[in-house]
């Protein structure tokens, strides 16, 4: 049986490098839909949306909840730059409550409407993650 080719994969936030892993495949939440990535993928640069990033390693699917950013795919190396990355199992009710509070503060049609939409997407992603793990 042929060995599956792998990708090197790194996730970086402003605070730290969250993850560096060899993976068989990954699915990233682009701003306009999900993108599946396998070894030897064509070079790609894309804007990310808030949502679930999934990657497969050792036959197991792992997840991170990210809050937008950018991804680059080049020569079997995937780099994800995001403002936050959280493992679903570490999502707490306090995190969800804080996201909901911030979203409520930004609601309305004023100059912060775009920020409110972004926060709503993040809250939605956190809630989905929490439902899967609790």
Question: What pLDDT is recorded for position 22?
Answer: 95
Residues 44 and 104 both lie in one domain: no
pLDDT-derived band of residue 70, with 50, 70 and 90 as boundaries? very high
Do 99 and 91 meet the contact criterion of CB atoms below 8 Å apart? Answer: no
Residues 110 and 77 both lie in one domain: no
Question: What pLDDT is recorded for position 2?
Answer: 59
**Residues 97-133 pLDDT 10s:** 777 777 666 666 666 677 776 767 676 666 666 666 5
Residues 61 and 36 both lie in one domain: yes
Question: What pLDDT is recorded for position 57?
Answer: 86
Residues 21 and 73 both lie in one domain: yes
**Residues 5-25 pLDDT 10s:** 899 999 999 999 999 999 999
Work out how many domains the chain is built from and give that number: 2
**Rounded CA separation 95/84 (Å):** 12
Question: What pLDDT is recorded for position 51?
Answer: 86
Contacts of 45 by beta carbon, 8 Å cutoff, 6+ apart:
70, 71, 72, 73
Asked if residue 2 belongs to a domain, the reply is no
**Residues 71-84 pLDDT 10s:** 999 999 999 999 88
Q: 129 is in which domain, residue-wise?
A: 90-133
Q: What is the pTM of this model?
A: 0.79
Residues 53 and 37 both lie in one domain: yes
Asked whether the predicted pLDDT for residue 95 surpasses 60, the reply is yes
């Amino acid at each position: 049986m042929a060995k599956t080719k792998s990708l090197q994969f790194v996730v970086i936030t402003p605070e730290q490098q969250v993850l560096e892993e060899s993976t068989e495949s990954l699915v990233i939440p682009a701003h306009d839909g999900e993108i599946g990535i396998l070894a030897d993928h064509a070079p790609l640069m894309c804007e990310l949306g808030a949502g679930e990033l999934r990657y497969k390693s050792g036959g197991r699917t792992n997840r991170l909840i990210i809050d937008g950013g950018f991804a680059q795919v080049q020569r079997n190396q995937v780099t994800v730059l995001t403002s936050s990355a959280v493992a679903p199992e570490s999502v707490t009710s306090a995190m969800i409550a804080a996201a909901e509070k911030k979203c409520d503060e930004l609601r309305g049609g004023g100059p912060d409407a775009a920020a409110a939409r972004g926060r709503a997407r993040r809250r939605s992603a956190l809630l989905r993650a929490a439902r899967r793990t609790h």
